[in-house]
Amino acid sequence: MNGITIALSKGRIFDETLPLLAAAGIVPTEDPETSRKLIIGTNRPDVRVVIVRATDAPTYVQYGAADLGVAGKDVLIEHGGAGLYQPLDLKIAKCRMCVAVPQGFDYDHVVRQGARLKVATKYLNIARNHFASKGVHVDLIKLYGSMELAPLTGLADAIVDLVSTGNTLKANNLVAVEEVMPISSRLIVNQAALKLKRETLGPILEVFTQAVEKIA
Ligand code: PRT
Ligand code: MG
């Protein structure tokens, strides 16, 4: 493929990347929410968008199946950065990685006592590093979704999950007790494509950089 392939996930990342693409003169011809197509054309014959799971975007870009992509910092940390150039924080899809516990659970006390904590999360690397740096002993339990359910059923004492409005925690009687890190999405670029397609990619990266400064 001579043109440019951009890997995006449906939902907030697609929606919040649209204005940046528009600034670069790129307008997708279909809406992934209503279309079942996984490859979407744009107004530019040399640019197409592939619709991927959020956690798969780095894989497509790493192997060059997509030249560009957008992925959350959470996804990038868990995936590892091999083969990926990460030139730009797009400052979109912002949220916070947090430790949350059931209301009334004395997290600080447990941590001070040095007791073991059972933590359920999708983000094993982030959670492992966070608790190691605090010197807290944890048993990590890997989940693939709905982390909020784990402390409510006795599967875990705490969770490490993303929080944006806080509504999901509140609806499940959980409270955030610690911020692990702020999260936003980054532009990711295939390292080989950056060299081989510099003429096409260079101007897109430049416009994105300017657009981020204006929009943020
Ligand atoms: O949803 P799916 O299982 O397909 O995949 P995904 O959750 O990885 O994708 P998506 O599109 O939901 O998220 C893509 C990226 O958006 C993530 O990798 C984050 O970097 C970023 N992002 C920003 C979020 C949120 N905000 C967010 N609130 N990702 C997930 N959430 C979830 C969170 O996990 C929790 O279940 O929303 C819930 C909390 O939201 P509030 O508003 O109730 O606090
Ligand atoms: Mg989701």
Instruction: Indicate whether this model's pTM tops 0.90.
Output: yes
Locate tokens 């925690």: which residue?
169
Instruction: For residue 40, list its beta bridge partners.
Output: 49
- C-alpha of residue 162 to centroid of ligand 1, in Å: 6
The token duo for 175 is 């409270």
pLDDT at 1: 64
Name residues contacting ligand 1 (CB within 6 A): 9, 11-13, 53-55, 72, 74-75, 93, 95, 145, 161-168, 183, 185
Q: How far apart are CA 101 and CA 86, in angstroms?
A: 33
Q: Which helix (H) or strand (E) holds 169?
A: helix 167-171
Instruction: For residue 161, list its beta bridge partners.
Output: 98
pLDDT at 83: 87
- C-alpha of residue 199 to centroid of ligand 2, in Å: 35
pLDDT in tens, 58-79: 999 999 999 999 999 999 999 9
- C-alpha of residue 12 to centroid of ligand 1, in Å: 8
Locate tokens 């868990």: which residue?
78
ipTM at complex level: 0.96
Q: Which atom of ligand 1 is nearest to the CA of 166?
A: 44
H helix count then E strand count, the chain: 9, 9
* Nearest listed ligand to the Cα of residue 93: 1
Q: How far apart are CA 13 and CA 82, in angstroms?
A: 22
Q: What is the DSSP pairing of strand 39-41 with strand 68-72?
A: unpaired
